[in-house]
Copies of this chain bind each other. A is one copy, B any other.
Amino acid sequence: MSGNSFGHLFRFTTFGESHGPAIGCVIDGTPPNITLTEEDIQIWLDRRKPGQTRFTTQRKEADKVEILSGVFENKTTGTPISLLIRNTDARSKDYDDIKDLYRPGHADYTYHKKYGNRDYRGSGRASARETACRVAAGAIARKVLGPIFDIRGALIQIGPHKVSRDRWDWEQVSKNPFWCPDQETVVQWESYLDGLRKSGSSAGAMIEIVVRGVPIGLGNPVYDKLDADIAKGLMSINAVKGVEIGSGMETASFTGEENADEMRITNGKTTFTTNHAGGILGGISSGQEIITRFAVKPTSSITTPRKTITTAGKETEVSTKGRHDPCVGIRAVPVGEAMIACVLADHLLRHKAIL
């Protein structure tokens, strides 16, 4: 209730600051007798891990996860699963310069005003480092969902450069540092980001997540609609400014005829001719693919000087050093997948309760 937990029956609580001793999370509500090892979580953390290419922050964190509870003889017991990740490469000195001022577009100002204090070292709790915990929780959510649910994310836009839907190939996603489904766009992005890195700038991005294998019936109208919980989950990720389901913002310009996903019977099963709804009708999954997109703004930590003010209320300029992602949207791909997994796991359990 104080903001650091997500979900109801499958519920996780995260803790930790970017430059504190550790980050971690507690997952409560995992059903018992699911096979789970640290390796099952580590593979997903490794996807999000910083310092793997020149396109993400150069902070080197092993992000090694330790399971502290809730697993006995490699099976979940039904008790809370606690995960710990020690911080090992925090360089708090990098932040001495910004100790007494606010970075424009950053949470510095609002945290300071809300709480009357501020952990200026690496933004404390507002750091994207927190998202490692989301990925860890998401790894367990995937275990709860089982292999029938197929959750895949892709980066579809960096700055002005969008992928081509015609060249979309899911196989490509794991073969480049951008989770890009379009080989030609990869080259374009590399060049664009190299330019940004040199100039100390940053870029926004767009991510798309697609889920196959979702059974009909997940979602609790009218306030805990599946899409409402997805929107909350994605909008809670650092730097996200917009969320769409299915045809999203574009539906504003549709007519009823264009928007209707017509229904057919194919080989005895219900099918739809289109999927503008993005797999959710009335807040409940329809059995179609769930399709969602979210926009990530450029990181506000740039070296270009920006006008700002000091904590004492004087006007000044700031140029942020430290190690930052030129495009924080890249690492948002596994984070977005994880949040979707957590929303679905929660709603799967909630649905089972009324069966």
Contact = CB atoms under 8 A, between A and B. Distances in A.
Interface in A9-38: 9, 11, 13-17, 20-24, 26, 28-29, 31-33
A62 interface: no
Nearest to A285: B110
B298 A354 contact: no
Contacts of A77: 17, 115, 117, 119, 124-125
Interface string A220-248: 11111101111111111010111111111
Interface residues of A, number: 152
Contact of A299 (B5, B107, B109, B256): B256
A309 B259 contact: no
Contacts of A241: 227, 244-249, 251, 277-278
Contacts of A206: 249, 252
A329 B252 contact: yes
* Number of identical monomers bound together in the oligomeric complex: 4
Contacts of A301: 256
Given A242-B249, A248-B241, A354-B349, A110 B265 contact: no
A101 to B, nearest CB: 9
A15 B251 CA distance: 28
A313 interface: yes
A349 B26 CA distance: 23
Contacts of A245: 235, 241-242
A306 B236 contact: no
